[in-house]
Amino acid sequence: MCDHHDRLKSNNKDLQSVEKQLDRRHFLKKTSLGIGALALGSLLNTEKAWSSIGNSDNAAVNAFTRNKLGLPHHLPKAKRIIYLFQSGGPSQLDLFDYKPKLVDMYGKDLPKSIMKGQRLTGMSGSQSTLPVAPSIFNFKQYGESRAWVSELMPYTAEIVDDLCFMKGMQTDQINHTPAITFFQTGHQLPGRPSMGSWLSYGLGSDNENLPTFITLVSKNGKGQPLKASLWGNGFLPTEHQGVQFRSGKDPVLYLNNPDNYDGTDRKKMLEYLGDLNSIQHDAYGDPEIQARMSQYEMAFRMQTSIPEVTDTSDEPEHIFDLYGKDSRDPGTYAANCLMARKLLEKGVKFVQLYHQGWDQHIGCPNGVKFKAKQTDQATAALIKDLKQRGMLDDTLVIWGGEFGRTVYSQGQLTKTNYGRDHHPKAFTMWMAGAGVKPGFTYGETDDFSYNVTKDPVHVHDFHATLLHLFGIDHERLTFKHQGRRYRLTDVHGHVVKDLLT
């Protein structure tokens, strides 16, 4: 449907003949489909073709209110989304998935009947025993929903009645890079569009002065590295890639005018540049040139919009108190949570936070405790803040990592210390806000939090559900690339209706 190659035509007569020789694909297409078909194709531009889907008398209306891809397919519940990605794989056993029976199993080898011959990572696969390590933390039930939360998340415990826990999450990947890539793009190998890019491509922008999809990474993050392909546009047009804000005082560099330049003729300069680029585009028809032009224009508008949105000085004292003292320190997770809310208020559709370091192979108790402390208060504050402002009504918030952790200890088990390896077969995530059931727990695991015993949610199902909340049928948002149509869920995925209000 958006096959850019079809529209690559030069307006410059001199170049057209050259172009025809250059483009083998076009040559084959023309000869195989016939000149007639081609002529017809160029007569219909895509916009007209799409608008004719609806009632024909609406055709004129379509030009600017109607989505060119025929979206949304149904009435959306969510208008924007914050994805709080806890990179590394938080231990569900020490946070949300309470397993009291493990205490009796302390130090015993994990039963073969539970492992079912699962292949482990190279890190613990060669261990002679796999001793069961119950969590050393206390769990309690909270709220009207009586959800179990460990003592490490006291602030999250206060908001459980707004959360929808998915305890039966499952992924296909056991190592970080493929697992994160799988979560963000629906495929283990880099190169597919990330979910934020799909939403940007499908639904477009709500504020033309800001990017549709923004990524914030907590500063001083140690642990598994993150890379731009996680918020990349893959084969979608380049303007849909996530824009990463730097963690720190200046989220976007070079927005300020250099010394001795007042910026008065910048607009003019960009217009000339635009003209030059148009000539280039006429000659080569490369869609990347158009993407470049729109990015220059976006950058120009961001010169004013970004300082405004990243300035937290107008936030009242009690908001900083709510998010915790870190929120005054730009680039921390807490400050990013606050920034995320401000971005959403300005019409950014997708804000993705990454917080690294949830990878507790050794020293799990202390590690999880430290990570929980860094994130718990701000996470809960964000939910409370959004709820108060009424934004939780149409904002989807997601908390989770790329996989869970094992019940057995990697390395030595002591009364106070253990390590936990990667575990893809069962882990916990939660969602909150637009269209998901508040105060609800979905899915169950066995006594070892090792296998899902009821209501599993696979990553593909999660993606399908996410798109559903935005009014999109995941099977119908596709992009044709290299001869076939791709979707975020590829050939998988079911909407988990039980999670929806």
Beta carbons of 350 and 213 less than 8 angstroms apart? yes
Decide: is 471 part of the binding site for other proteins (CB under 8 A): yes
Q: Which of 19, 161, 393, 446 binds other proteins (CB under 8 A)?
A: 393
Decide: is 497 part of the binding site for other proteins (CB under 8 A): yes
**Region binding other proteins by CB under 8 A among candidate stretches 57-65, 181-189, 348-356, 450-458:** 57-65
> Which is closer to other proteins, CB of 78 or CB of 102?
78
Q: What are the percentages of helix, strand and coil residues in the chain, rounded to 5?
A: 40, 15, 40
> In the chain, how long is the greatest CA-to-CA distance?
82
Q: How many binding residues for other proteins (CB under 8 A)?
A: 35
Position of tokens 């400050």?
335
Decide: is 196 part of the binding site for other proteins (CB under 8 A): no
**Region binding other proteins by CB under 8 A among candidate stretches 58-66, 182-190, 263-271, 330-338:** 58-66
d(CA 189, CA 171): 14
Beta carbons of 479 and 235 less than 8 angstroms apart? yes
Decide: is 498 part of the binding site for other proteins (CB under 8 A): yes
DSSP state of 132: B
Tell the burial category of 463 from Cβ atoms under 10 Å away from its Cβ (0-12, 13-18, 19+). buried
* Residue span 324-363 as binding mask against other proteins, x where in contact by CB under 8 A, dash where not: ---------------------x-x----------------
Decide: is 58 part of the binding site for other proteins (CB under 8 A): yes
Position of tokens 């997601």?
398
User: What does the buried/exposed string (b/e) look like for 424-447 if buried means 16 or more CB atoms within 10 Å of the residue's CB?
Assistant: bbbbbbbbbbbbbbbbbbbbebeb
Decide: is 304 part of the binding site for other proteins (CB under 8 A): no
The radius of gyration computed from the CA coordinates of the chain, to the nearest angstrom, equals 25
Q: Which two tokens stand for residue 107?
A: 């130090």
Decide: is 53 part of the binding site for other proteins (CB under 8 A): yes
Strand partners, 352: 83, 215
CB of 63 to other proteins, least distance (A): 7
Decide: is 52 part of the binding site for other proteins (CB under 8 A): no
Q: What is the DSSP string of 208-266?
A: TTS-SEEEEE-TT--SS---GGGG--TTS-GGGSPEEEPSSS-SSTT-SPPTT---TTH
The residues near 270 (Cβ < 8 Å, ≥ 6 apart) are: 296, 297, 300
**Region binding other proteins by CB under 8 A among candidate stretches 131-139, 210-218, 385-393, 445-453:** 385-393
**Region binding other proteins by CB under 8 A among candidate stretches 67-75, 139-147, 251-259, 336-344:** 67-75
* Residue span 207-246 as binding mask against other proteins, x where in contact by CB under 8 A, dash where not: x---------------------------------------
Decide: is 501 part of the binding site for other proteins (CB under 8 A): yes
Decide: is 154 part of the binding site for other proteins (CB under 8 A): no
Which runs of E-coded beta strand occur in 282-377? 350-355
Angle at 425 between CA 423 and CA 428, to 5 degrees: 80
CB of 86 to other proteins, least distance (A): 27
Decide: is 494 part of the binding site for other proteins (CB under 8 A): no
* Crossing angle (nearest 10°) for helices 333-345 and 287-310: 110
Decide: is 394 part of the binding site for other proteins (CB under 8 A): yes
Decide: is 253 part of the binding site for other proteins (CB under 8 A): no
Q: Which of 8, 19, 70, 238 binds other proteins (CB under 8 A)?
A: 70
Q: Which of 26, 29, 66, 187 binds other proteins (CB under 8 A)?
A: 66
Decide: is 454 part of the binding site for other proteins (CB under 8 A): no
> Which is closer to other proteins, CB of 74 or CB of 108?
74
CB of 284 to other proteins, least distance (A): 33
CB of 209 to other proteins, least distance (A): 9
Nearest in space to 194 (alpha carbons), one of 233, 159, 162, 167:
233
* Crossing angle (nearest 10°) for helices 333-345 and 364-388: 20
> Which is closer to other proteins, CB of 151 or CB of 455?
455
**Region binding other proteins by CB under 8 A among candidate stretches 38-46, 54-62, 177-185, 223-231:** 54-62
d(CA 50, CA 47): 5
Decide: is 202 part of the binding site for other proteins (CB under 8 A): no
Nearest in space to 100 (alpha carbons), one of 448, 336, 435, 356:
448
Q: Which two tokens stand for residue 424?
A: 């893809």
Decide: is 166 part of the binding site for other proteins (CB under 8 A): no
Interface residue list for other proteins (CB under 8 A): 53-55, 57-58, 60-61, 63-67, 70-76, 79, 206-207, 345, 347, 387-390, 393-394, 471, 497-498, 500-501
